[in-house]
Amino acid sequence: MHNSRVRKIQLNQTHGYWRFCVAPMMEWTDRHCRYFHRQLTRHARLYTEMLTTGTLLHGDAARHLAFDGAEHPVALQLGGSEPEELARAAKLGARYGYDEINLNCGCPSQRVQRGAFGACLMAEPSLVADCIKAMQDAVTIPVTVKHRIGVDRHEDYGFVRDFVGALHGAGCHVFIVHARSAWLKGLSPKENREVPPLDYSRVLRLKQDFPSAEFVLNGGISSLSAAREHLGAVDGVMLGRAAYHDPYLLVGADRALFGDASSATTRETVVLKMTHYLQRQMRIGVAPRHIVRHMLGLFQGLRGARQWRRTLSDADALQRYGADVLMVAFEAVRDPPALLPGAP
């Protein structure tokens, strides 16, 4: 069966798989972070940090692509602009078992501008369409794109509509849209996450103009209640830094957004599970700091949270306690029987 036919069937079967996602974040959403997040939510779709085609094709692909099976559903985000190289990288991702290949057309950092990928690609929709086609021909899993609503002076709705139209015509059916423009000149990556104004209405217009496509809204969403409100107008929502800095909010996502309370868990249970994970990873040479750094916000807003962060950030404590450092840090924190995030 031809790849396009297989993909169409799969997309029909996977409608709703993008209902709630945790954003790809450079230097944050590595495999240890994703494993941690999966202990908090069964249903959220997780994303790798962006990996360039050069990193995968000319570097240690196994080190970058290996992940734990518990992470599913998990997507590989690629950075690149050469169709043939993206196709080869997508094949690698599919071979390693990822559930989706996502093309980064939204990152505004200087690093990606120099590499001719990221947000600057929005100015070249025909090239991006060729990239999408090449990846779709190479794999049967969904190929999606993450992008902004504009770039620099191209901020009229027609610009993003034509960009989405070109990709939709190439067979892309899932669009993750950060509802800000990328101002590539004069703003840092951090400023690009905050200064350009949010315009959710642009994403809603895209959904109206392309009703057969799925649109996932990203940008400025910091709570599950806000996520639930947006789901009345779009197919999915994506949280980024809110989920990273206050990860326990993910526990409420399964009940609030998927109607599934069976996976609700306590912080203590998460600490125990991550202790076992830390033990396994240390046996293969992974330093504790690479894992516990993603857990600093687990007790955000609770008594003892500062001591929790202090212990996990202390090089001497990590050296002294090793795999037991999470339990040592947990002793300074009392986990109150509070309502789960997102509970009605």
Q: Report the distance separating Cα 326 and Cα 314, nearest Å.
A: 12
Peptide bond into 125 cis (omega under 30): no
Q: What are phi and psi of 211, to 5 degrees?
A: -65, -20
Q: Count the alpha carbons within 13 Å of 127 in the hemisphere toward its beta carbon.
A: 13
Q: Are 260 and 43 in contact (CB under 8 A)?
A: yes
Could you write out the three-class secondary structure of 195-238? CCCCCHHHHHHHHHHCCCCEEEEECCCCCHHHHHHHCCCCCEEE
- What residues act catalytically? 107
Comparing CA positions, the residue from 252, 219, 254 lying closest to residue 238 is 219
Tokens for 303, please give them: 């008594």
DSSP 3-state of 51: strand
- The C-alpha angle 96, 272, 40, rounded to 5 degrees, equals 55
User: Residue 59: left (phi > 0), alpha (psi -120 to 50), or beta?
Assistant: beta
Provide the residue type at 186 as one letter. Answer: G
Maximum alpha-carbon separation in the chain: 58
Q: Are 244 and 47 in contact (CB under 8 A)?
A: no
Q: Report the distance separating Cα 309 and Cα 321, nearest Å.
A: 15
Could you tell me the sign of the dihedral formed by the alpha carbons of 213, 168, 30, 240, in that order? negative
Number of residues written out for the chain: 344
Q: Report the distance separating Cα 191 and Cα 185, nearest Å.
A: 11
